[in-house]
Structure formats: C-alpha cells, structure tokens
Chains A and B, each alone.
Chain A
Amino acid sequence: MHPATGCCSNPMRHRAHLVIVITIFWSRENNVKACLPLEFTQEQYDTEDRKLVVALSATLGLFAIELAGFFSGVSMFSSSQGLLSTGVHASASVALLFFLFEQWECDIYWWIFAICSVLPAFVEILLFIAVFGLKKKPL
C-alpha cells in the first residue's frame, strides 16, 4: 500500500467509525431495549444501558490509543498496520450502521468491539513497544 493513500484513507475510516460510535452513544435506547425481554424493569434497563455505555466508552478510549500511535509517527507509515486499521474500521463502520438501523441487540456490540477496536489498538500497543521499548525503526 502506498504510504500516501494509507495516510489519507486510514484516518477517514477511523473518523467514520468514531462518528458512528458517538451517534450510537446518543441514540442507544432502541439497542438496549432490543436485548431486554418484552416486559422489563427499570433496573434491568439500567444494567444493560450501563454495559453498553462501558463498551462505547472503551471504544473511545481505544480510539485515543490508536490516534496517539498514528500521530506520533509510530504507525503512520506502517503499511500492515494501516491495512489492518483501515480494514477493521471500515468493517466496524458498516457493522455499526446495521447495529443502529436494524436495532441489533447490545451483545453483538461486544463482538464488533473485540474485532474492530481491541485488535487494532493491541497491534498499535505492540508497535509502541517495538519502537520505544526495543528501539526498532517505525517503518
């Protein structure tokens, strides 16, 4: 992958994922109701709502880690990390679009979170350790 195209497409996919996560944050009511039985108490609603808020907040935290890695130059020119990041964030954007519009239940969000947020952040942290800990060149 040419570094120039990677540098443009990666942040755009990242931003699309971020925008959808913030959108879901503010309109999560239907998704919470989708993973509750037809008759539910306020307590059950609050529990599921809290779990979804934790998942969304964790997603935002992992975004921050990836952005820090990208703008510090650690992974900006790394083709493999760029490809992985572009791929998972684009998939996350599409999956979360369905999550929002089709009102999927909130348990599905954890799968999307694991594959599309934890994985690229984990690779980013590995690159951090490689560059700053083991003193390897970023590229």
Chain B
Amino acid sequence: MELPDAVRKRLEDFSRNVLFDRSRTEEFPKDRRVQSSLQLQLSLYFNVCFFPWWWICETVMLQLKYPALPDYYKFILVTVLLLMTLIEVIRLYLGYAGNLQEKVPELAGFWLLSILLQFPLVLFQLFNEALLIQPLERAVHVVLCCFVLTQVRFCTFCCRLSRGLWRCGTWSDTQEASFICDSLTDDRSVSARPGSSGPGLKPTRLWFCWF
C-alpha cells in the first residue's frame, strides 16, 4: 500500500527542508550501505507487540470510570481513544514501511504523526488529573510515551542519514539486508552484496525483517 502522490510530495518537501542535515559536508558513501535503523526497528517491533495490550487496558479503564466522568470528558475521552488507535496503527505502518524499505517520505510521515499528534495525546492522558487517571492507565501511558520518544529520536537520526541515499524502490531481497549484519557484527565496512549474508550473521537475527 503506497502513500498517495500528493501526500508523498509534501512529505518529501518536509523531509528535505526539516529533516535533512545541512551541516553534512562530506559526500555520502557510494556503496549501497543500507540506512535502515536497527534501534528504530527494535522500538517499532516492541511497540507493535505492546499496542494491543495498551488498547485493552485503556478501553477497560475507560469503561470502568465512565460513569464518574463529567459529560464533556466522556465525549473527549472516547474521541481521544479512537483517534489514538487510528493514529497508532497508521504511525506504526508508516514506521515499518519507511524503515525497512528506506522510504524517507514514510519516515517523515511517521515522525510527524508521532511528535505532533501521538505525543501530545499521550501527555494529555498522563497529566490531566481531571480525567480520573487510574494507576494502570498511568503505567501503560508511561510505556507508550517512552516508545514514542525513542522512536522520534531514532527516526530523526535515521532520516538525516538516509536523506542522501533514499530510493523509492521496494525491498526486493531480504538476503541483501546487511544492515543487521553491520549493527550486530564488528565489520562496519560491509556493503550490501546479493547472495552474501555477511560475516557472522545468523539467519535468526533477520527476524527484524518480519513484515
């Protein structure tokens, strides 16, 4: 599923103006060094695993405290829950697509959704005492907040690094994924070579490529 062209064009412009590191003066390496971020992928993977549990906790807590809420907060909290669910699904999809396929517009979209929408909503849920915040809600929102912050941090770095090399291709061959090799072995000069698995790479470590 690709982004619509108009959205893709705007996200490209945004990434060129905001996320591109203008202080980089050296040339980008000519080898096909894969720019996907292992840390971002880790964070996304665990976020995907955590998201259903966050949703269940949030829904159950809302259902339990619903009668005690004022009318306007009833409406607000139901809307916020629906919005956060929708944003989270789109955000995680864009993060996976952008990171694994090295598509900077998707990563820029993921970055924007995380920092402009999801992060303020999580802070609203965490710090507005009028919502009758329950201890379980505090716990799951703290975890979600940590995920969002780490993803924004790693995505910013990843976008700046990959801006010079991004291509709008599809991920054709996971056997070329030497990015895991680079991150998990000592040999940093390995570039993507078809048919090679890199020094010391174990096939089980490619589970990050599940998509």
User: With an 8 A cutoff between CB atoms, is B3 at the interface?
Assistant: no
Per-position binary interface string of chain B over residues 120-143, scored 1 when its CB falls under 8 Å from any chain A CB and 0 otherwise: 000000000000000110111011
- Cross-chain contact A23 with B135 (CB below 8 angstroms): yes
Q: Which of A12, A19, A73 interacts with B139 by CB under 8 Å?
A: A19
Number of contacting residues on B, CB 8 A? 17
Interface Cβ pair total, 8 Å cutoff? 43
Contact-residue bracket for chain A = 20 to 34
The A contact surface, by secondary structure, is helix
Complex CA–CA separation, A25 to B16 (angstroms): 45
* Contacting pair A11 B204 (CB below 8 A): no
Query: Chain B 36-66, CB within 8 Å of chain A: the 1/0 string?
Result: 0000001000100110010001000000000
Give the dominant DSSP class at B's interface. Answer: helix
Residues of A near any B CB (own CB < 8 A)? 2-4, 7-8, 11-12, 15-16, 18-27, 71, 73, 77
Residues of B within 8 A of A (CB): 42, 46, 49-50, 53, 57, 135-136, 138-140, 142-143, 184, 204-205, 207
Interface pairs A-B: 6 shortest CB-CB: A26-B135, A22-B139, A19-B139, A23-B135, A4-B207, A27-B135
